[in-house]
Structure 1
């Protein structure tokens, strides 16, 4: 089976429930931004140095499939018959990680530039895409009802991505310091 169907050649696409809508509809733009975030997370993940962050991003990517699936459906109830939905426990996990990382990272007293490491830079880009997706979800919520759990999850996700970026920057900074110490030691020994 080919990947093209030609059904979208006239500017319409199908939602999960089969409803045909214009490709520029707010709903398509909204779940498209969630899909973009998921793709960006995949790139960011490949640069993460902390194995825990790598695993967390696997979980987040799977959860974003659920968010996008729910948004790509005019009949959310039919979606829930085939899939689980984002819930309070998913948001709580994000909050727990945010709290844990905030406690272990140095306190900030000023704004920071986005990303001092490659992973941190990519995660800040993800945070920005997440904020756009959140704005679009909020806009879509003005037209149709979006479950509050989805709104809360995506709002918390941008905070989570911020703290993950800071953590990856910190890991990178520590590794850099260790490398400098080892280089100095090697010079002294030789």
Structure 2
């Protein structure tokens, strides 16, 4: 089933705050990340449990935050970009907390995500987004991190290839289009 993403505002005439755009990006990013986690399962990669699936979703979300940061670079000044990415990340923390609590029970799920985001942001700082999209090392890093989460058992051995060649690229394209639509 195809993922349908609504990325146009209901009232085009109304100005949107960066906080509102960040919230919309979080909703769209969450849907894309969940879709990619499901896609891996459909490709016969095996999750150990729901906690592992949520970890994979979080890796996709970190990747999408990096994409948003780079896409916003030419659209807004540095202070606005920081506000946008902060609003995006804060809303994602809410999604992660709510969904993780529903699946795994009470606990603090937002703080570990923020720690992951901070660590990965340093790592992703080395990688580029050019006119065609994320570079090979950018996608490879996403694939590597997900492979580390999924393990190298026989059924998950080639997950890095799936992410680099198909799923990571598709997540980028969907998210970049939605990002641009929200700023129109």
Q: Do they superpose with TM above 0.5? A: no
Q: TM-score range by the shorter chain?
A: 0.3 to 0.5
TM-score by length of 2: 0.33
TM-score by length of 1: 0.32
* Bigger relative CO (Cα 8 Å, ≥ 6 apart): 2
